[in-house]
Amino acid sequence: MRETTPVKSPRLNEQDQVMTTKYPYYVEPYNETERPRRFLEAFSAILQHSNYGFVLDTYSKITTKCARCACNCQVFMESGELRDVPCHRTELLLRVYRRYFTLGGMVSSRLFNGFTLTDRYIDEMAENFYRCTACRRCKFGCPMGVDHGLMTHLARWILAEIGIVPKALVVAVREQLQGKTGNTSAIPVVALKDTCEFLEEELLENYNIPAKFPMDVEGAEMVFFPAVSDYLLEPDTLMGNAAVMHLTNGSWTIGTGYYDGINYGLFYSDTHLCNIVRKEAAEVKRLKAKKVLIGECGHASRSAKAFIPTFCGGKKAPPVINIMEYSHKALLDGRLKVKSGAILDRVTYHDPCNIARSKWIINQPRELLEAICKDYVDMVPGGQMNICCGGGGGTVSIDEIRKFRTGTGGHVKAEQIKATGAKYVVAPCANCKKQLREVCEDNGLHDVEIVGLHDLLLKALDLEYYGITAPEKKEEEE
């Protein structure tokens, strides 16, 4: 039975509130008074200005709570806890909707002294909805097709509107939308240029490839938006991107007005989601380009692909492609030449949920890997039904829950990787890379290396075809 008596919030100063948060994640100080009232007001406003009402009305009538979805959730597989059953978690929000936003719920409550939203109930939602990775695999187990990932997103949005959102997410988005640098990693333009110049020197020195990272080229076909953290953490991926674009005569540019593909709005706020994709579209317009080119990042790709048309002009919005789609097409039409079997160690591929669950990008990276790998093996299950890395839905950015992410959330994935016997796990997503490296570290998979797709493509390019002689030093290392 649920507690119906409101919990009185303790009086804390701001620093104490940050460090002694009642949740597993840190939360910035916020107004803790009258939270049930403010939650309902935020819920009401979202219903008034969005299409969620239709979805909630439908789900609240058809949901069966049969728990078949649990079989598809890697968190429940490991924890076995009721709170990790997706339909049980969704019911937390639907119960509030029925009680306060349907005529039947309001009448029933008055007649039978029914459910009342309390502070404790809000706390339960605040914890449980951040145990979900929003990977949406559970949807395929629901006989009624309820999208529990969507319900997680909506619940988080309402919670965020009253101030309950992991500090790691809100700080990154604040810098992206309001900060001086305008990106989640707070990389200023001068540092961006320095990094790209360094990578150009590395490409020339190690591969003899005179590739450039073009900046602010008006009229280029595509504007490039990788996860901006790649400029700090994934030099081989970016060098692979630049090498492929150079050798295939790709028309692309990086815009110094905006260069971050990350969009945490996808995880907890439609308002932020909208504002971030508008920055991408505005940069494409400023540079008179035609397309949005997203780097190796699952959620950046999905947020741009699905929501630039929604918020930035519909059919007139710039098309969105992922860098793997570009490279795959270049391979098929003969512009990209690679050495068959150049990668000798066993390789497997991790499908980022945000690009595989919809079947958007599944076969393209596999065909690229099969073209360059001597020993490629697939994970089982894979493709559309692949298991989440355990860091989806933005949870990978919350370092204070690492034990949960890599243990409860990531152990099933670790066993899946272990079963392949692979040396390299290709994970074409900034968030998946970080999470899988920590999963491997915390689950004893110390011989496994997590890499990007273009990291391996860079090593397998047929430079002789392009008239390039690879430096002898690099050949000796390989």
DSSP 311-322: HTTGGGSPPEEE
Q: What residues have CB less than 8 Å from 153, skipping those under 6 apart?
A: 134, 266, 267, 268
Q: Work out the end-to-end distance of the chain between its first and last CA atoms, rounded to an integer number of angstroms.
A: 63
pLDDT at 21: 66
Report the mean per-residue pLDDT for the chain. 94
Q: How confident is the model at residue 352 (pLDDT cuts 50, 70, 90)?
A: very high
pLDDT band of residue 470 (cuts 50, 70, 90) is confident
- How far is residue 41's CA from residue 49's CA, in Å, rounded to a whole number? 12
Q: How confident is the model at residue 111 (pLDDT cuts 50, 70, 90)?
A: confident
Q: What is the mean pLDDT of residues 393-416?
A: 97
Please report which confidence band the pLDDT of residue 9 belongs to, taking 50, 70 and 90 as the band edges.
very low
Contacts of 309 (CB under 8 A, 6+ apart): 315, 317
Question: If 0-12 CB within 10 Å is exposed, 13-18 middle and 19+ buried, where does residue 69 land?
Answer: buried
Residue 3 above 80 pLDDT? no
Pairing of strands 343-349, 424-426: parallel
Give every strand in the sheet of 449-451, ordered side by side: 373-376, 343-349, 424-426, 449-451
Q: What is the structure's pLDDT at 252?
A: 98
Say whether the peptide bond before residue 166 is cis (omega within 30 degrees of 0).
no
| Whole-number pLDDT of residue 181 | 98
Task: Give pLDDT, residue 13.
Answer: 45
pLDDT digits (tens, 9 = 90+) for 141-170: 999 999 999 999 999 999 999 999 999 999
How would residue 398 be classed by pLDDT, with cut points 50, 70 and 90?
very high
Residues sharing a CB contact under 8 Å with residue 323, sequence separation 6 or more, in sequence order: 224, 226, 241, 244, 293, 294, 295, 296, 454
pLDDT of residue 171: 97
Report the percentage of the chain scoring pLDDT > 70: 94
Residue range 20-33: mean pLDDT, rounded: 89
Q: With H, G, I as helix, E, B as strand and everything else as coil, classify residue 446.
A: coil
Which residues have CB under 8 Å from 175's CB, separation 6+? 181, 182, 183, 184, 186
| pLDDT at position 336 | 98
- In this model, does residue 418 exceed pLDDT 60? yes
pLDDT in tens, 299-350: 999 999 999 999 999 999 999 999 999 999 999 999 999 999 999 999 999 9
Is the model's pLDDT at 435 over the cut of 60? yes
What's the pLDDT score for residue 473?
Answer: 62
Q: What value does the mean pLDDT take over residues 168-187?
A: 97
Q: How many CB atoms lie within 10 A of CB 403?
A: 11
Structure-block tokens of residue 359 = 């079947």
State the maximum Cα–Cα separation within the chain, in Å, rounded to a whole number.
84
Note the Cα 40 to chain centre separation in Å. Answer: 28
Q: Which two tokens stand for residue 369?
A: 């890997």
Q: What is the pLDDT of residue 234?
A: 98
Using an 8 Å Cβ cutoff, are 324 and 296 in contact?
Answer: yes
Looking at the predicted structure, is the pLDDT value of residue 197 above 50? Answer: yes
Q: How many residues does the chain have?
A: 478
Tens digit of each residue's pLDDT (9 = 90 or more) over 205-253 = 999 999 999 999 999 999 999 999 999 999 999 999 999 999 999 999 9
CA–CA dist 457, 449 (Å, integer): 15
Q: Are 281 and 317 in contact (CB under 8 A)?
A: yes
Residues facing 338 on adjacent strands: 461
Least confident stretch, 56-70, 218-232, 316-330, 361-375:
56-70
pLDDT at residue number 20: 42
What percent of the chain lies above the pLDDT cut of 90?
Answer: 90
The reply to whether the predicted model has a pTM over 0.75 is: yes
Q: What's the rounded Cα separation, in Å, for the pair 49 and 144?
A: 26
